[in-house]
Amino acid sequence: MSTHRLLLATLSFAVVSCADPTAPVPEPAASVWAPGHRVVGSGHVHTPAGLREFTFHSVEHPNGDVTGSFKVVLPNGLFFEADVTCMAVEGNTGWVAGTIRDTNAAAVIVGTRSLFYAIDGGEGASATDIVSIAAFNVAAGGDLAFCDARPLALPPLTVTAGNVQVR
């Protein structure tokens, strides 16, 4: 995680000719869906029930398609895995959602959606990364609405061992 971030979603670049220093500079790009975004991470967070493990990777391809997966393992060994259906990036925060494809938890329904957000706190010993709890059993369409709205309503958890990168 670099303290210097290239924010593809909010910056655009202009080449200004030396022959024409008055050439207009284009407005910054408004879309948060610029190809090339990545939201990746793995590690542990402390919960009241104990240590929760997580791993995720989500990549936006040049054609706009998004691929990836994520897995959450609860302190009691229950887990679920999902294939990414959408993602959004704004600054150092990434929102990721997907379809649950595997679980050993009776309360988790395969085929429903799961979603979470992650915040990249930077590099170094003083950096603090955040991941939200992962909502699950969300109805179809809730994943896309989550990525579009980019809410921060899910409870955040501090990553105590691991790393999150949002690009």
Please report the DSSP string for 69-114 in residue order: EEEEE-TTS-EEEEEEEEEEEETTEEEEEEEEEEES-TTS-TTSEE
Picking from 16-25, 59-68, 83-92, 133-142, which range would have the lowest pLDDT averaged per residue? 16-25
pLDDT beyond 50 at 19: no
- pLDDT confidence tier of residue 14, bands split at 50, 70 and 90: very low
Q: How confident is the model at residue 37 (pLDDT cuts 50, 70, 90)?
A: very high
Question: Is 160 within 8 Å of 46 (Cβ atoms)?
Answer: yes
User: What's residue 126's pLDDT?
Assistant: 85
SS3 labels along 66-78: EEEEEEEECCCCC
Q: Distance between CA 90 and CA 18 in Å, rounded?
A: 33
pTM for this predicted structure: 0.78
- 2, pLDDT greater than 70: no
